[in-house]
């Protein structure tokens, strides 16, 4: 075999392997989308109201979050008789922090980095559901073990170069864990969330239990979803800065 023919053969082999890998990734993503209820159903969903509860260092906290699909969201967290509000309205964001928690008690603009990170939550169904549509690059890292079971690890890179990973069950194709790096108060911090207790509501699948390291340190923080309402009758005006 001549050197020229060797390189040509090698190129074809690499191209075939790359094609197989790409097809494998597409199949995995397609199976995930189908398992979650299908892209058409998620795109038809206008909004969701979710209520969750969790505890941090003995404090019971409740959160009501309203998400308008791909438009914006508002979160109102109740703790110790105080309310912390966070809202995303398109590409803008604002928050209200009580004075006892270091805030002014008035609506303040959110830092751009925090707006960008929080805005990802407006993609109902999860970022992987919309990754191909928005041009994110998805690759299959391989298989790993999560809690004693085999999972598929995918790497997703958006157009701004930010990278996160998701871990899918090869049986259900649900996302069981996601990891990424977030800039919190000027410091890059690795964030990981595990998902479980999946339930189907009107044909769409939602995880009802999420676990993540507590921001206060120490044990894991478990967030339980207590209710989900699809397409609630709520005006998008609640997203406007300072809206009550």
Domains of the chain: 10-239 (2.50.20.10)
Buried b / exposed e over 122-142, threshold 16 CB at 10 Å, is ebbbbbbbbbbeeebebebee
CA distance 183 to 186: 6
pLDDT at 184: 55
Give the pLDDT score at 11: 46
Q: What tens digit of pLDDT does each residue of 151-182 get?
A: 999 999 988 788 999 999 999 999 999 998 76
Q: Which helix (H) or strand (E) holds 85?
A: strand 82-89
Encode pLDDT of 94-134 as tens digits: 999 998 888 889 999 999 888 888 888 899 998 899 888 88
Nearest in space to 216 (alpha carbons), one of 59, 53, 51: 59
Provide the pLDDT for residue 158: 85
Distance CA 77, CA 84 (A): 5
Handedness of CA 41, 168, 90, 213 (dihedral sign): positive
Over pLDDT 90: what percentage of the chain?
A: 61
Residue 22 has pLDDT above 80, yes or no: no
- Round to whole Å and give the CA distance between 165 and 170: 16
pTM of the model: 0.85
């Amino acid at each position: 075999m001549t050197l020229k023919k060797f390189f040509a053969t090698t190129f074809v082999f690499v191209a075939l392997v790359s094609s197989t890998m790409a097809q494998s990734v597409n199949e995995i993503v397609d199976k995930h989308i189908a398992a979650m209820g299908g892209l058409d159903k998620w795109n038809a969903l206008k909004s969701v109201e979710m209520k969750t509860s969790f505890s941090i260092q003995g404090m019971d906290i409740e959160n009501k979050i309203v998400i308008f699909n791909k438009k914006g969201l508002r979160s109102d967290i109740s703790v110790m008789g105080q309310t912390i509000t966070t809202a995303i309205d398109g590409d803008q964001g604002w928050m209200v922090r009580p004075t006892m928690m270091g805030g002014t008690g008035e609506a303040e603009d959110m830092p751009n980095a925090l707006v960008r990170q929080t805005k990802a939550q407006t993609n109902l169904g999860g970022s992987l559901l919309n990754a191909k549509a928005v041009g994110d690059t998805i690759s299959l890292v391989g298989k790993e073990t999560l809690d004693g079971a085999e999972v598929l690890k995918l790497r997703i890179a958006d157009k701004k170069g930010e990278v996160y990973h998701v871990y899918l069950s090869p049986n259900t194709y649900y996302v069981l864990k996601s990891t990424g790096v977030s800039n919190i108060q000027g410091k890059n911090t690795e964030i990981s969330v595990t998902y479980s207790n999946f339930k189907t509501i009107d044909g769409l699948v939602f995880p009802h239990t999420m676990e993540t390291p507590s921001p206060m340190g120490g044990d894991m923080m478990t967030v339980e979803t207590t209710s989900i309402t699809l397409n609630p009758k709520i005006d998008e005006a609640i997203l406007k800065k300072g809206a009550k």
